[in-house]
Structure 1
Amino acid sequence: MKRRTMSLVLVTAMGAAMMPGSTLEAVEGPSIEMEKKENPHASVHRPSFPASSWDHPLPSSPVLHPGSIRGAGMRSGPLKAIDPLIEQAIADQVMPGAVTFVARRGHIVQQEAYGYAVRYKDDAFTEIKSPIKMTEHTIFDLASISKIFTTTAAMKLYEDGKFKLDDPVAKYLPEFAANGKEDVTIEQLMTHTSGFTPWIPLYQVDGDRDDRIQHVLQYPLENAPGSTYTYSDLNMITLGALIERLSGMRLDTFVKQEITGPLQMNDTMYNPPAQLKARIAATEYQPWTERGLVWGEVHDESAWSLDGVAGHAGVFSTASDLGKFAHMFLMEGKYGGTRILEPETVELLTENRIPQFPGDDHGLGWELQQGWFMDALSSPSTFGHTGYTGTSIVVNPANQTIAILLTNRVHPTRETVSTSPTRRAFARQVADAIPVASSTKKAERWFAGYGDKLARSMTAEVDLKKAATLSFDTWYRIENTYDNGRLERSTDGENWEELEVFTGESDDWVHKDFSLPKDTKFIRFTYETDNAVNNRGWYVEGAKINKKPLDFDTNEWEKR
């Protein structure tokens, strides 16, 4: 995973270099030009990048700070489109309210609040007399994003030499060996490959917190350890118990001491005090737990039954605080002058530890390359997580970008529309705000666009009289195998011969040359997508036949 860090002095110098008139100025428009290599026929262009384009960001500030879109090397249009996107989701009753947070290279470029933090008093959508509006400082129940705090806390103990990843859990929690779990390793807990079932109704188990934790530790496996990937709350409840056993502290105390305290994440906590209730987004009306409207305490029933402190859920936070946590990971475990993790530990947390389960890429806690909520920000190195209450975080290291969407979508009931399409659309706008550099300074550039079930073509009539060479440059980040770009030729405009399929990722801008027979009358570029997930897309630039630019008669692509 490539990461870039820099001193504050260098940040200042780079900031000065990006003032208007500088050759390093980040442009606001829809494309970024870059110098072309001396050999235009090389298979891969590797020019210099005078602006902070896709996969080539300038170095990051060591801390987050309010910044300009220009300074972040982003485009304003896609970021401005976030407002109507979230407002429409609220109008469609996807959620009552939301807070968004976008940062790149340490520049906070978008942070907005929408809708209501508290609006209803029951699951019949009966409005309260004085609804509370969402603010940028609203505190959210993060739900399963709490799992990342648990794995990060565990890795603090790992750094202290308290355990090895391949150690059996039962080495430190002997009671865990019950019911055939003696071989489950600590890493298998963190990667959800232990064999546990997804969840159990722990709140229905009699007893106190200790009794319920022991119930989990005694619980049998559903599958053999290491044989399957099954996302499970029981893994993280067990990991939380391990942290408590090894540290001698309750999980909330350890997390505050080792993570949130040093990072000055002052609005991040388990069991927020009553005086903060007015700042907290309400969640669900739960008559089955006899709690009524859950507001100011953890939504998850099992975490609630564990006194609000559990490895799988329980953390409350704001978008700003969560941004600090994410930026610490981008800065290889350091935020400003405060080091939380060693760079090697960050790599363990954010690299794919289970390649044997393709499609379920997972670090130690972090989910990787999950297009269903990361969309166009997704890449092999992108990490993130979601929470059942409607929260999500996406971190794209190659672009030094953080995208956080916090909602209260379970308010007043979980029986609502899925938040995932909104998560995808939000991530897509953030990704589209990061410009793709041009391969040349003068050639026309076309972008296939975004969307589900697309079939977009651009066609040129060429009517060759003799054999010729088609040449162009292309750049693509296309969902591998599920979405495809195709280059085709035809002798009659009805029957098409496939020349090449483009899917997956190109290595920057790639130069292509194709020999065309003399009977070629049409050339067509077609982009097709499935019904879910887009990556950053497909660009074609400088398409020519025998060095003469192509004139596309039919074009459904966007000129960028």
Structure 2
Amino acid sequence: MRGLGGIATLTAVAPAVLGSASAGARTSAVLATGSPEMVGMSSVRIDDVFARVQRRVNDGLFPGATALVARRGVIVGHRAFGNKVAGCSEPVTLDTMFDVLSITKVLATATAILVLVEQGKLQLSDRVASYLPRFAANGKSGVTVLDMLRYSAGLPMDHQLLDEPDDEAAWQAMAETPLEVAPGSSVLYSDLTYRLLGRLVEVASGTDLSSFARAHIWGPLGMHDTMFNPPAELAPRIAATGTSARRGRLVRGEVQDEQDFALGGITGCDGVFTTAMDIAIFCQMIMGSGSYGGARVLTPESVRAMTRSQTSQVTAAATDTSPLNNLLLAPKGLGWEIWTPRFSNGGTRLSPGSFGKAGGTGTFVWIDPARELFGILLTNHGLPEPFDEIGWNRLLDSTGVAEFFDGVIAAVADER
């Protein structure tokens, strides 16, 4: 059986990946708005969470933000803070769009891969070189789609190729990049890996990643403010992420990462612009086992595969040793980061089994399925330069992301 109605293709390929799943979605209802008390949370504590975001904006740690908290299908808080452009009076509004960088990996690429698997157009056990022949170079012929999705292909974190003569030369050089470690032996978070996965989506689907995501993910869910390369007329709605020395201008409505911008702004690792509300719809789809508002994007089995650890070769004890190591080396799902209790950017209070995704511009989403809760914090802090351990720590400290999610969990009143 193939197509969106069944998962036989997936289960035949990788039963250990999928495991068992509940039959059907928990709910396909659309998100509602209500008070925290309606869903066992505290209004006072939610207000405290938002007040702390506002304090960081007031202190000049980043220009602006939106934040959203929802539980049991009810949005209990959705606020806007600060300005879209540093030093300018352009207030962020609830519909402000942000460059979410690596959240692209789940909003577009990993989800698109699983949709294609459900459609029977590829399998998780397929070799990447079957779709991207040049990828076979330098001993990579055995790397599978699953290896790539779970950040275990062995490719380096990134490969900036800004001096190549054209895009095709850059793509060829990326495809031919040698491995750093043996496939499947460890976890190494990699933008390069997901750039190449975006290309694989295009080959397998016969269309570009943006069109595929719009047709099979964002459109059915009603995520109309989610897109690559926003048109110029939307610029007033977009939060700027800083100034690019290479481009010589303010980066607003263009992906901040220089490699992704050089490649045209549509890649598998970065490039999506979206709002907190659209991400909330996506989160509720995941909470609903692949369905939202009557539209089914994924089967429950695919959602389960995405959101649980697929990297048994590593342990949190060995890899959750610093905030950067948590991002790069700790357990992963398919696209998602898996929560660990020590240095996760989701704080220390999420439930075991929680999962989320960080974007390097200062954008974060975490889902706590045990509490039926998720939180979203989108800032226009911008990429740390350089992107190293100190830079990542400073971004996390400036945005206060761990404080934000710890505060959200502290607002859950029905556990006391």
TM-score (norm 1): 0.64
Among 146, 157, 172, the residue aligned to 2:131:
172
Amino acid at match of 2:368: N
Among 218, 229, 232, the residue aligned to 2:190:
232
Rounded to whole Å, the distance in 2 between the matches of 1:144 and 1:292 is: 22
Q: Which residue matches 2:120?
A: 161
Rounded to whole Å, the distance in 2 between the matches of 1:294 and 1:396 is: 33
Shift of 1:380: 2.7
Rounded to whole Å, the distance in 2 between the matches of 1:219 and 1:416 is: 25
Q: Which residue matches 1:383?
A: 355
Among 357, 366, 370, the residue aligned to 2:336:
366
Deviations 1:1-49 (A, max 9, x none): 998988xxxxxxxxxxxxxxxxxxxxxxxxxxxxxxxxxxxxxxxxxxx
Q: Which residue matches 2:204?
A: 246
Rounded to whole Å, the distance in 2 between the matches of 1:99 and 1:262 is: 24
Relative distance call for 1:192 and 1:61 in structure 2 (3 A) is closer
Amino acid at match of 1:420: L
Q: Which residue matches 1:286?
A: 244
CA contact (8 A) 1:143 1:314 kept: yes
Among 354, 372, 375, the residue aligned to 1:400:
372
Amino acid at match of 1:154: I
Q: Which has the larger radius of gyration?
A: 1
Q: Which residue matches 2:70?
A: 103
| Higher normalized contact order (CA 8 Å, seq sep 6+, divided by chain length) | 2
Among 155, 178, 187, the residue aligned to 1:196:
155
Q: Which residue matches 1:216?
A: 174
2:118 counterpart of 1:146: no
CA contact (8 A) 2:40 2:414 kept: no
Shift of 1:147: 0.7
Q: Which residue matches 1:490?
A: none
Rounded to whole Å, the distance in 2 between the matches of 1:93 and 1:240 is: 36
| Aligned length in residues | 375
More helix by share: 2
Between 404-413 and 72-81, the greater mean CA deviation after superposition: 404-413
Rounded to whole Å, the distance in 2 between the matches of 1:140 and 1:337 is: 27
Q: Which residue matches 2:11?
A: none
Q: Which residue matches 2:94?
A: 136
Deviations 1:54-94 (A, max 9, x none): xxxxx867211111212122112210102321122123332
Relative distance call for 1:285 and 1:349 in structure 2 (3 A) is same
Shift of 1:351: 1.2
Q: Which residue matches 1:429?
A: 407
Amino acid at match of 2:258: E
Q: What's the RMSD between the two structures over aligned residues? A: 2.1
Rounded to whole Å, the distance in 1 between the matches of 2:393 and 2:165 is: 33
Among 279, 285, 306, the residue aligned to 1:328:
285
Shift of 1:155: 0.5
Relative distance call for 1:330 and 1:3 in structure 2 (3 A) is farther
Q: Which residue matches 1:62?
A: 29
SS of the equivalent of 2:196 reads helix
Q: Which residue matches 1:262?
A: 220
Among 288, 308, 311, the residue aligned to 2:265:
308
CA contact (8 A) 1:61 1:105 kept: no
Rounded to whole Å, the distance in 2 between the matches of 1:173 and 1:411 is: 30
Rounded to whole Å, the distance in 2 between the matches of 1:429 and 1:378 is: 10
Relative distance call for 1:417 and 1:363 in structure 2 (3 A) is closer
Deviations 1:71-119 (A, max 9, x none): 1221122101023211221233321111100000111011001111112
Which structure 2 segments of 5+ residues have no match? 1-19, 317-329
Rounded to whole Å, the distance in 1 between the matches of 2:404 and 2:345 is: 9
CA contact (8 A) 1:87 1:114 kept: yes
Shift of 1:175: 1.6
